[in-house]
């Protein structure tokens, strides 16, 4: 099994089902995805998309693995950057003691620049922090815009 | 060859001052840091430090290298039971930046040997500790069982 190029781990006081429901809820996604709309198809093979608040498509892909409430894997193409090779993202939700360990694993499609590595870390760190706050407090984190790759 | 630094970024709905206090006050670290009391002499530069708990005794010792409250704290980390730490201390830094109504806390743990078992250990530990810190500051309740 291939090693991920980046891993982001957080622990959330919730059930795997509650984390899964939020992660796949298009209507609530702007609250944890810095205002973007994330749409996750309901089965493997269906579309996966991320759309900016102004309607511009940001990410296009497909659902590769759909195993509620423990594992979601999607392909990830940056719409405006066709030169960036297709990546894959995997979300693992595991019960640990009384909480959930959310692991986001990023598999790059090829070498990417340091600014992309940094942008990925910023973006996923912010998304997982927002998911955690929303699930634990019922309120989103006050909005922060991620820094775009240079 | 040596292993890369472990970097963890967490956004917390709290001020840098509140996060700084939580990270440097043994009464607060006890709640989110596996029951450990982070003991220093006021988190001042040059101060010795240790993480102590009744269950495990001293987990690690070190010294504060740089202290700029509430923005930056750099300290050495020498684990008392990991063989890797016998080769020398690793270094931990906390950096706190205001981001609107949130604070970004970046924890960087560096100075590992090649294929470091210490790095594997802290890579599992920091996400739990910092998740519990975030819960404690945002909800008043740390992740009791997880940290």
pLDDT digits (tens, 9 = 90+) for B90-103: 999 999 999 988 99
A126 to chain B: closest CA residue = B11
**What pLDDT band is residue B1 in, cutting at 50, 70 and 90?**
low
Residue B144 has a pLDDT of 64
Residue B146 has a pLDDT of 41
* Cβ proximity of A110 and A81 under 8 Å: no
Is pLDDT of B131 > 70? yes
Place of tokens 């509430």: B70
CATH superfamily of B6-139: START domain (3.30.530.20)
pLDDT digits (tens, 9 = 90+) for A18-52: 999 999 999 999 999 989 999 999 999 999 999 99
Residues of chain B found within 8 Å of residue A96, distances taken between Cβ atoms? 146
Residue A148 has a pLDDT of 56
Residue B63 has a pLDDT of 96
Q: Is A109 strand, coil or helix?
A: coil
What residue segments make up the domains of chain A, in order of their start?
6-137
What residue segments make up the domains of chain B, in order of their start?
6-139
CATH superfamily of A6-137: START domain (3.30.530.20)
Residue A98 has a pLDDT of 87
- DSSP letter at B81? S
Backbone angles phi, psi at A23, to 5 degrees: -60, -30
Place of tokens 């043994």: B26
Residues of chain A found within 8 Å of residue B141, distances taken between Cβ atoms? 13
Count of C-beta atoms within a 10 Å radius of residue B123 = 17
Q: Looking at residues B82-91, what average pLDDT do you find?
A: 72
Q: Which of A144-148, B7-11, B95-99, B121-125 has the lowest mean pLDDT?
A: A144-148
Decide if A10 and B12 are in contact by the 8 Å CB cutoff. no
Q: Exposure string (b/e) for A57-66, b if CB count within 10 Å is 16 or more? A: ebbbbbbeeb
CB-count exposure of residue B44 (10 Å: 0-12, 13-18, 19+):
exposed
* Cβ proximity of B109 and B126 under 8 Å: yes
Backbone angles phi, psi at A32, to 5 degrees: -120, -5
Q: Which helix (H) or strand (E) holds A19?
A: helix A16-23
Within A4-145, where are the H helices?
16-23, 114-137
Q: What is the ipTM of this complex?
A: 0.91
**What pLDDT band is residue B82 in, cutting at 50, 70 and 90?**
confident
Backbone angles phi, psi at A83, to 5 degrees: -75, -20
Please give the C-alpha separations between residue A26 and each of A8, A39, A127, in angstroms, as whole numbers.
22, 5, 14
pLDDT digits (tens, 9 = 90+) for A89-135: 999 999 998 899 999 999 999 988 888 888 888 899 999 999 999 99
Between B147 and A71, where is the model more confident? A71
Between B116 and B8, where is the model more confident? B8
**Among B9, B11, B13, B124, which would you mutate to test the A interface (most chain A Cβ atoms within 10 Å of its Cβ)?**
B11
* Cβ proximity of B53 and B31 under 8 Å: no
């Amino acid at each position: 099994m291939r090693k991920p190029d980046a891993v982001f781990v957080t622990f959330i006081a919730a059930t795997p089902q509650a984390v899964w429901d939020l992660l796949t809820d298009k209507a609530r996604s702007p609250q944890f995805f810095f205002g973007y709309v994330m749409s996750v198809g309901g089965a493997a093979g269906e579309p996966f998309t991320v759309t900016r608040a102004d309607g511009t498509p940001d990410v296009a892909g497909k659902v590769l693995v759909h195993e509620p409430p423990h594992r979601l894997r999607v392909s990830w193409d940056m719409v405006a950057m066709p030169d960036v090779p297709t990546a894959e993202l995997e979300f693992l939700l595991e019960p640990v003691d009384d909480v959930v360990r959310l692991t986001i694993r990023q598999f790059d499609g090829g070498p990417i620049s340091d600014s992309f590595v940094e942008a990925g870390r910023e973006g996923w760190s912010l998304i997982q922090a927002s998911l955690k706050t929303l699930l634990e407090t019922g309120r989103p984190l006050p909005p922060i815009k991620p820094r775009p790759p240079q | 060859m040596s292993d890369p630094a472990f970097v963890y970024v967490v956004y917390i709905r709290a001020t840098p001052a509140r996060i700084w206090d939580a990270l440097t006050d043994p009464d607060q670290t006890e709640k989110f840091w596996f029951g450990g009391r982070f003991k220093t002499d006021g988190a001042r530069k040059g101060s010795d430090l240790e993480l102590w708990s009744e269950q495990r005794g001293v987990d690690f010792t070190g010294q504060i290298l740089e202290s700029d409250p509430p923005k930056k704290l750099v300290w050495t980390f020498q684990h008392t039971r990991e063989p890797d730490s016998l080769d020398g201390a690793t270094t931990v830094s906390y950096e706190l930046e205001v981001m609107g109504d949130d604070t970004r806390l970046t924890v960087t743990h560096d100075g590992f040997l090649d294929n470091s078992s210490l790095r594997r250990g802290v890579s599992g530990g920091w996400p739990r500790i910092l998740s519990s810190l975030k819960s404690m500051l945002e909800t008043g309740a740390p992740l009791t069982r997880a940290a």
